[in-house]
Amino acid sequence: MISTSKNQIMKIALCYKSEKIADETISSIKEKILSYGFELDDSKPDVVLFIGGDGTFLRAVHQYYNELSKVKFVGLCKGHLGFFYSYDESELDVLFSDLKRGVCKSESHHLLSAKVDNEEIYAINEIRIESPFHTLISDVYINGESLETFRGNGLVVSTSLGSTAYNKSLGGAVIYPQIPSMELSEIAPINNTIYHSLHSSLIVDKNSEIVLKTKTDNILLGYDHLNKNLHLASSISLRLSDKVVILLRNKDYSYTKLLKSKFVGDK
């Protein structure tokens, strides 16, 4: 019998995009889970096994958002190696054997939280405001002090784990995920003799607060794969949350190797 710390059988939930993974693949993974002595349980799992690409991890975190203190996530990649994975599809036995022996590497990642008017939203990669058709105008405050009035297409605040996602496409720095921080990056800033912004990504420490006071209507608020419309000018207060996501990795996993394989290549 496979035990959790409370001496119970470990319960595993599967997360995947059903249109992308064949039913037979899921059936054989389920059989393997049972053969290792684990239980299948989607409602109160100890471990969420996400299968597919990086977007599947984002969806899994949001799906189990209310259970984050009890759940650990582990990823099995299908196709190319994703950023949140460390077991590929040929390593199913290694994955279950590592889970059984409790030898996976465990990483804690703080969620990013934003208070938007009276609502709170969370993200694992980033929270962003965007306005693709009209100039977005937003005052930016860091720890209560005014930094700038930004004009452009948008602003992205990312976590260290999310620094390799949208943030990197904007020229933001990659931050080792074990350094909890927030990074503010600009989308198509207007910079001329009249309007100026920092025109560079800005990394702040884990205790900082970034406030964006938008001055334009009809802005899109994006958080990971999700989004909502802000119809009126809003105040958005961003902080690193106390809520953490526990991500399990292969014991041989290395972030430097992952960066090299995803972005640099072997040559």
The DSSP code sequence of 103-154 is: -SEEEEEEEEEEEETTEEEEESSEEEEE-SSS-EEEEEEETTEEEEEEEEEE
**N- to C-terminal Cα separation, the chain:** 46
**Considering the rule CB under 6 A, would residue 83 count as an interface residue with ligand NAD?**
yes
Q: Which is nearer to ligand NAD, 126 or 148 (CB)?
A: 126
Q: For residue 225, state whether it binds ligand NAD (rule: CB under 6 A).
A: yes
Q: Is residue 208 a contact partner of residue 223, using CB atoms and an 8 Å limit? A: no
Q: Binding segment for ligand NAD among 13-21, 62-70, 97-105, 164-172 (CB under 6 A)?
A: 164-172
Interface with ligand NAD, residue 166, by CB under 6 A: yes
CA 84 to chain centre: 9
Task: Name the DSSP class of 162.
Answer: G
For the record, the structure tokens of 159 come out as 């976590």
Identify any residues that bridge with 88 across adjacent strands, giving them in sequence order: 77
User: Taking CB under 6 A as the rule, does residue 16 contact ligand NAD?
Assistant: no
Residue 186 interacting with ligand NAD (CB under 6 A) = no
Stretch that binds ligand NAD, among 28-36, 48-56, 106-114, 137-145 (CB under 6 A): 48-56
Q: Is 139 a catalytic residue?
A: no
Spatial CA neighbour of 201 closest among 190, 189, 213: 189
Torsion-angle region of residue 46: left (phi > 0), alpha (psi -120 to 50) or beta? alpha
- The reply on whether position 54 binds ligand NAD by CB under 6 A is yes
User: Judged by CB, which is closer to ligand NAD: 53, or 189?
Assistant: 53
- The beta strands (E) that lie in the chain are given as 11-16, 39-40, 47-52, 72-77, 87-88, 105-116, 119-123, 126-130, 136-142, 145-159, 181-189, 202-205, 210-214, 219-223, 226-230, 235-249
Q: Which is nearer to ligand NAD, 64 or 166 (CB)?
A: 166
Assess 131 for contact with ligand NAD (CB under 6 A): no
Distance CA 168, CA 183 (A): 10
Contact between 177 and ligand NAD (CB under 6 A)?
Answer: no
Minimum distance, C-beta of residue 262 to ligand NAD, in the bound complex (Å): 7
| Residue 181 lies near ligand NAD (rule: CB under 6 A) | no
Which of the stretches 14-22, 161-169, 211-219, 242-250 binds ligand NAD when contact is defined by CB under 6 A? 161-169
Verify binding: residue 82, ligand NAD, rule CB under 6 A: yes
Quick check: 53 binds ligand NAD (CB under 6 A)? yes
User: Any contact of residue 162 with ligand NAD (CB under 6 A)?
Assistant: yes
- Under the criterion CB under 6 A, does residue 165 sit at the interface with ligand NAD? yes
Can you state the percent helix, strand and coil of the chain, rounding each to 5? 20, 40, 35
Cβ nearer to ligand NAD, comparing 126 with 186: 126
Cβ at position 34, least distance to ligand NAD in Å: 29
Give me the residues that bind ligand NAD (CB under 6 A), please.
53-55, 58, 82-83, 125-126, 161-162, 164-166, 169, 224-225
Q: Catalytic residue numbers?
A: 54
